[in-house]
Structure 1
Amino acid sequence: MNIPSTDEVRAIAAITDPTIRNLRITQCYCELSTAFVSRTGPVANWCTFATWASKQAGQSIRREDLLRSMEAQLNLPQLEELKLLWRVAVELGVDAALQQKLFGIIRNTWLAGIIDDISGAVSRGNRKVFEEIGWEFARFLSAYSQDKAFNQQQLDDFCRNLRPGNPPDGQQYLKQAFTNYYHAFFEEDAQLRTELQLLANLEIGFHEQTRLQPEIAASLNAAFAVNTEIVRKKITDAFFPPESWLARIRLSYLKITGKTSRLDTAINKLMHRLQSIVREQLTIHLMTLTLPPELRLSLAKDLNKTYPAALLHLSCPSLLTLLSQIDPTPDSVAQSGAVDWADLPERMHFITELFRCYHIDPALYSEAFTLQQVAAMKGGKLPTGRL
């Protein structure tokens, strides 16, 4: 059984190409999950879920079809706010032939900038979590996965390297999680063992999501982060080219007479409308998780799945205490859909139900990539085929 080492985790995190790095992170999570399952049996660990979350993140990092789908949703020629802007522009003497140039500014400056921001934010979050939690899993598995008997001294030695305090700076939840994983290795009571494993997954999930808050918020708010003043200036310059002294004289005259206020108002209305549409579409795009074999979950909708029999009724005190803090609908998937994925409590509610519902689901232990794809990415090349 190949267990990724801490050196391998560091090397992957240091890869500069964000696409290759994401693919290697996803594969490493898959290998860590497999190594963990070889000790625990077919029960999900945090790396099991991280595999598919990282694979999903790869689509945003690679910008797969995102520009095309955004353009389709915007439907620029039919957008009323853009029609209004164009009517005002024509009334001010702007050449009608510039309409396609206006479309290009929106696509190539504003929309492309948003997608670049999303790719960057998702990539930073992917790396940030992996180089911390992936490294701790590699450290834990390489040292303790073969232990035949419980060793408190070894556990204390592992935990000593984790920072006290709550996230985002402290690692108390990681300390608790790996302690529970280790206890589960040797727990003879099957029910308690299962609950300890779920507890550990949730503790790491809470640490991870707290740490990711800035990157998640940045991704969802990318439509508002791109400098709209640059877009406004490009639109104005397209209508009244700086190199054309006649156009600049006309613009100066319109400003003096106050007529450009109508143009500015129309541009503002257009930008607000574009931001609203794109924010909605980004939310749909980013709030989707695909689990094997082809299950697409909308994170905004309540989970349509029941708890496994082993997790229908819980009794572990520590697990019940944590659930009382992060699960507002005890023992039910009702209201598990997150209205706003940037809201940490809503996000944790969905993740809590996801982890509990899919805790014992054999489909999650599928390979993330083919052998040929793994060989290519480990050789520093972009694999062919569906990723």
Structure 2
Amino acid sequence: MYPRIDHQTISTIVGHPEPVLRNLQITQTYSEINLALSQLLGKNNVSWCAYATWASKTAGKFIRLENVDAAIEEFLRGKDWVRELVRVIPGAMTWFGWKVKINNSFLLKILNETAKASAKEVAKGNLLVFAELAPLYTQFLQSIASNPDQKESNLKAFLDYLWQNQSKENAYDKLEKAYTAYQEAIFETDPKAKAELIFYANVLIGYHEQIRLDPAINNSLNAPIEQILKKKLLGEMEQLIEASIPRFLFQLLSPFLKSYLGPVVQHMATEWRKISTKMLMRIEVPDGHLDLSEDIPLIAYEPAKMFPEELLVIRNPELLKVLEDLDCSPDSSAGSAAKDWGNLGERMNFIADFFRSAQQDEHMFWPPFNAEQTALIKQGKVPPGKL
């Protein structure tokens, strides 16, 4: 018996103010929706919610700032821009007759603040997609039945709900096609045709989701390190010299200091994108993780194959049209690597192959947390230990 997901549960999670617990509840709910959908779609093919489960779990690591200190310390170690910053700032202050100490501890504090800014963007994206799509999946489960006599009326009722709840800033045409394909898959008896319909729906929903997430992803990659650094440095300097010179004089000197810092800070921002990209460009999966900057590996459950048998060659014409737009390497996972996760086209090229490769992997039905952790999450508590 699968847990029943209702709109009130979704609304409560969406309204939760604490991002860490909210993310855990989002991850768990995606997993439960995926299991509930298997009663309609069958247990051979996972829905988009399976991928959302593990993407949300991956986002949770960033939201909780796991391993951020170690990553930043490695980032600071031996970088030319660090030595330059340590040299330039005291030199500038000495020129004015003041002394200020810039060291790794000071920079670590700034980078931690920047990481928190990135984490906020990740949490924002995690919430945005869940708040939009979880109610639709919930309504789909409530509206659609496996009774063929109710097929047309059930789909109409669901699509009416879909369009009534369309967000003003985003068209739902992809979602209409996706959920229609899900319903067709329920009644499809040919295993290959069913698998292609589910893959088509998953890719369309993934495409819709990534369009919605694009600003949050790029904001998290491009955290405002320049603004934070300049604000912190100038703030510290202002406090340091405020007692010794008139405030208006410091304000006159401030533009000069900013221009003096400019090149070094810009270099620092470039380096930050590298570390934030490294942290974001991997996804947890049930039996390990995928590096998004590398090609999708051969599937373990059908050795030496890139995709499951039923998805090796695509016949569905609508699916072929979508893949023609999104997949740069048709019928192959070679070339699926995304070098810039901030690029929507590169993301979708990877996602299309990932969805296709993992659609019939039974591990994707695994729960994201153990029984004890799940119980605490449902009680509104963050479990101790590794999540």
TM over 0.5: yes
Write out aligned runs for 1:193-204 (5 A). 193-204=194-205
Matched residues in 2 for 1:302 and 1:147: separation?
Answer: 41
Asked if 1 retains the 8 angstrom alpha-carbon contact of 2:7 and 2:138, the reply is yes
Among candidates 66, 69, 74, match of residue 67 of structure 1: 69
Q: What amino acid maps onto 2:15 in structure 1? A: A
Instruction: Give 1:287's aligned residue.
Output: 281
Does the Cα contact within 8 Å between 2:144 and 2:158 map onto a contact in 1? no
Alignment CA distance shift 1:73-1:227 (3 Å) = closer
What does residue 217 of structure 1 align with?
Answer: 218
- The answer to whether the 8 Å contact 2:175/2:204 transfers is yes
For 2:119 and 2:336, how far apart are their aligned partners in 1?
A: 27
TM-score by length of 1: 0.88
Give the counterpart letter for 1:270 in structure 2: V
Query: Separation in 1 of the partners of 2:210 and 2:359?
Result: 19
In the superposition, relative to structure 1, how do residues 31 and 226 fare at CA in structure 2: closer, same or farther (>3 Å)?
A: farther
TM-score w.r.t. structure 2 length?
Answer: 0.88
What is the CA-CA distance between 1:286 and the residue it aligns to?
Answer: 0.8
Superposed CA offset, 1:15-62 (max 9, x none):
111111100000000101111123311311100000000000001111
Query: How far apart, CA to CA, are the structure 1 residues paired with 2:77 and 2:263?
Result: 16
Cα deviation code 1:234-259 (max 9, x no counterpart): 35336x5212x1xx38x969x89xxx
Q: Match of 2:301?
A: none
Equivalence for 1:4: 5
Residue pairs, 1:129-278, within 5 angstroms: 129-147=129-147, 151-163=151-163, 169-224=170-225, 226-237=227-238, 240-243=240-243, 245=244, 248=245, 266-278=260-272
Are 1:54 and 2:47 an aligned pair? no
How far 1:13 moved relative to its partner?
0.8
Helix, strand or coil for the counterpart of 1:204? helix
Name the residue aligned to 1:84: 87
3-state DSSP class of the match of 1:231? helix
Q: Which moved more, 1:79-88 or 1:278-287?
A: 79-88
- Alignment partner of 2:241: what SS? coil
Matched to 1:177, the amino acid is: A
Task: Pick closer, same or farther for the CA change 1:145–1:76 going to 2, 3 Å.
Answer: farther
In 2, the alpha carbon distance for the partners of 1:14 and 1:166 equals 18
Give the structure 2 partner of residue 304 of structure 1.
Answer: 297
Root-mean-square deviation over aligned CA pairs: 2.8
Q: How many residues align?
A: 374
Q: Aligned letter for 2:309?
A: A
| Percent identity between the two aligned chains | 30
Which amino acid counterpart does residue 295 of structure 2 have in structure 1? D
* Alignment partner, residue 357 of structure 2: 357
Change in Cα spacing, 1:134 to 1:50, as seen in structure 2 (3 Å) is same
Query: Which piece of structure 1 moves more, 31-40 or 156-165?
Result: 156-165
Q: Judge conservation of contact 2:68–2:112 (CA < 8 Å) in 1.
A: no
Query: Residue 302 of structure 2 aligns with which residue?
Result: none
Give the SS at the match of 2:162. coil
> How far, CA to CA, are the matches of 1:291 and 1:137 in structure 2?
22
CA apart distance, 1:223: 4.2
- Structure 1 residues not aligned, in runs of 5+: none
Gaps in structure 2 of 5+ consecutive residues: 299-305
Letter matched to residue 29 of structure 2: C
Instruction: Indicate the residue corresponding to 1:380 in structure 2.
Output: 380
